[in-house]
Amino acid sequence: MTERLDYPDLIAGLTEPDDAAVWRLDDDRALVVTTDFFTPVVDDPYDYGAIAAANSLSDVYAMGAKPFLALNVAAFPPNLPTEILGKILLGGSDKAREAGVVIAGGHTIQDKEPKYGLIALGFGHPDRILTKGGAKPGDVLLLSKPLGTGTIATAIKQEKADPAHVQNAVIWMKKLNAEAAEAALGMGAHAATDITGFSLLGHAWEMALASKVGMEIDFSKLPFLEGAEIYAKQWIFPGGAFDNREYYQPHVKFEKDLPEESQMLLFGPQTSGGLLVAAGDSEYQKYIKNMDSQGPFWEIGHVIQGDRLVII
């Protein structure tokens, strides 16, 4: 708690395992700051840039804020045509424009492998910032995007991916989490995070640990991308899935004999994944009644008393 004592306006920082740093500017505004970048997950440079930008902005949305300004962060091999870098930056620029974000510059270096992402800034209300630590027993757990980008990206690298599966995955990875963030705030959600490299179970455990609760997730309610379960049965997983399983499995209880490939899907890293939101069940029911639909979410489980994740 040293940060809170030394810097009372720092709402979220290193002492909290959240998706972005948050600084209170005044009674009505908080500044949200984050950065993220990664190597290509698809072959098309434009799509890669758009996915990386959507992924970077997702951390701002996960805090219940709205992004407005960004800087490019890029690394590029000198032996590749600069036109490729131009397409990457264009994909990021177009996605930022869709989000109402201005890219005002950035920095590029030479490297052996392309890397791209954003430093993103957003505004939120200090009293409505969503963190990982607010989930309460009885809350409903909501997910805004299907799972499976990790196994599909690995299938692409192994040249085993069906083009239709790739196209569908790209659409979801490029999708902004803006609508989900707005909906979460509208229903007075208690906690949120976005699902990225640590997998659904890894990020869910971070939320559970920060909130001092357990979670019950219904496997039958989880959405998966087209093709994800096919590649899982072929045991096509990124290395990060095995790292996640080793680290987080002690905190997970599988109630029945779920096939190992299905378990691995839940430990699979996600690229530009959805928001995981914990909200009051009655507030969510009012929301979907007013929407006359499930909105941007799948209902995947509940927050419970306890100290582990239970997969039913």
- Across the range 75-99, mean pLDDT stands at 97
Give the chain's domains with CATH numbers.
Answer: 2-124 (3.30.1330.10), 132-311 (3.90.650.10)
Instruction: For the chain, state the CA radius of gyration.
Output: 19
Residue 299 has a pLDDT of 96
Distance CA 276, CA 142 (A): 6
Residue 291 has a pLDDT of 77
Residue 15 has a pLDDT of 74
**DSSP conformation class of 224:** B
Distance CA 261, CA 263 (A): 5
Q: Output the CA angle 251-254-259, nearest 5 degrees.
A: 125
| Confidence label for 7 from pLDDT (cuts 50, 70 and 90) | confident
Residue 124, pLDDT > 80, answer yes
The two three-digit tokens of residue 295, written as one number: 């909105």
Residue 297, judged by CB atoms within 10 A of its CB (0-12, 13-18, 19+), counts as buried
With beta carbons less than 8 A apart as the criterion, state whether 311 and 254 touch: yes
Ranking 194-208, 242-256, 279-293, 298-312 by mean pLDDT, the lowest is: 279-293
Mean pLDDT in the chain? Answer: 94
Residue 4 has a pLDDT of 57
- Across the range 23-43, mean pLDDT stands at 96
Helices (H), 194-254: 199-211, 228-233, 239-248
Residue 141 bridge partners (DSSP): 278, 301
pTM, full prediction: 0.94
| Confidence label for 18 from pLDDT (cuts 50, 70 and 90) | confident
Residue 13 has a pLDDT of 83
Residue 152 has a pLDDT of 97
**Region for 229 from its dihedrals, namely left if φ exceeds 0, alpha if ψ lies in -120 to 50, beta otherwise:** alpha
